[in-house]
């Protein structure tokens, strides 16, 4: 009897010395390491993402820079073409309106020297700049945004539009200064019996 009581006391003291963990029930072995089951969709998505290749070293910054450059170029092109109308040629209709045969604009003396003067030849408005015995005749509406070149200013053999400053060479209409990108149409001119005559230049 005494031996039985002594063994019981020893087991009791052993449990107390191990602390609360000894009194906690052991977890079933079957549940150890078990995870919550994943759905087939989750498994498939995870596998797909795992197979996707990652970005190659050094390619991501270049790709981002390229996209940024393209966006900037698109924005600049849009600004020039639509805000400043740098792309369209507003004088494109001139060849259709200009006379194919010689037409008189009036007496040469009616055009003062060194001053742009507006004149008309049928449906076409032109600007005349007289320099001595020579007369330069250009389409009057600016190729940029149809500004009146007859209200512009002369600068070193060129005519500057009063609206946005596009500057064209008198002798051939070439653009010397933008925002215009298309040349200003120039008429062929001659003085015959004291009268200034113009026509559309022959092709070529």
> What local confidence, expressed as pLDDT, does residue 54 receive?
53
Name beta bridge partners: 191.
196
> What local confidence, expressed as pLDDT, does residue 58 receive?
53
Give 112 or 31, the one with higher predicted confidence: 112
For the chain, how far is it from start to end, CA to CA, in angstroms? 134
pLDDT exceeds 70 at position 7: no
| CA atoms 28, 33, 34, 36: torsion sign | positive
Average pLDDT of span 178-203: 93
Digit-coded pLDDT (tens) for 33-92: 455 555 544 445 455 445 555 555 555 555 544 545 545 554 444 444 444 444 456 678
The pTM of this model reads: 0.57
What is the C-alpha separation between 14 and 18, in angstroms, rounded?
Answer: 7
Question: Token pair for residue 45?
Answer: 């998505």
Do the Cβ atoms of 168 and 179 come closer than 8 Å?
Answer: no
Digit-coded pLDDT (tens) for 134-156: 999 999 999 998 899 999 999 99
pLDDT exceeds 60 at position 172: yes
Q: Which of 202, 203, 201, 200 is nearest to 99 (CA)?
A: 200
> What local confidence, expressed as pLDDT, does residue 170 receive?
97
Phi and psi at residue 169, to the nearest 5°: -75, 135
Digit-coded pLDDT (tens) for 77-126: 444 444 444 445 667 888 899 999 999 999 999 999 999 999 999 999 99
The set of residues, in sequence order, having a beta carbon less than 8 Å from that of 145 and lying 6+ positions away, is 85, 90, 163, 164
In the chain, how many H helices and how many E strands? 5, 10
Question: Token pair for residue 94?
Answer: 């001139």
Q: Which of 116, 169, 94, 179 is nearest to 145 (CA)?
A: 179
Average pLDDT of span 1-15: 55
94-199 topology per CATH: Rieske Iron-sulfur Protein (2.102.10)
């Amino acid at each position: 009897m005494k031996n039985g009581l002594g063994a019981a006391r020893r087991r009791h003291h052993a449990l107390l010395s191990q602390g609360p963990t000894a009194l906690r029930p052991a977890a079933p072995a079957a549940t150890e390491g078990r995870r919550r089951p994943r759905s087939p969709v989750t498994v498939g998505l995870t596998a797909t993402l795992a197979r996707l290749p990652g970005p190659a070293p050094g390619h991501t910054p270049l790709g981002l820079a390229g996209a940024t450059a393209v966006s900037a170029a698109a924005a600049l092109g849009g600004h020039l073409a639509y805000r400043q109308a740098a792309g369209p040629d507003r004088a494109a209709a001139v060849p259709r309106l200009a006379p194919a045969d010689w037409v008189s604009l009036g007496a040469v003396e009616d055009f003062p020297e060194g001053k742009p003067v507006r004149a008309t030849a049928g449906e076409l408005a032109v600007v005349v700049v007289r320099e001595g015995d020579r007369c330069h005749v250009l389409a009057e509406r600016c190729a940029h945004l149809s500004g009146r070149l007859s209200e512009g200013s002369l600068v070193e053999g060129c005519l500057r539009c009063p609206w946005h400053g596009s500057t064209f060479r008198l002798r051939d209409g070439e653009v010397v200064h933008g925002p215009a990108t298309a040349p200003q149409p120039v008429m062929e001119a001659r003085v015959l019996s004291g009268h200034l005559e113009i026509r559309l230049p022959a092709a070529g």
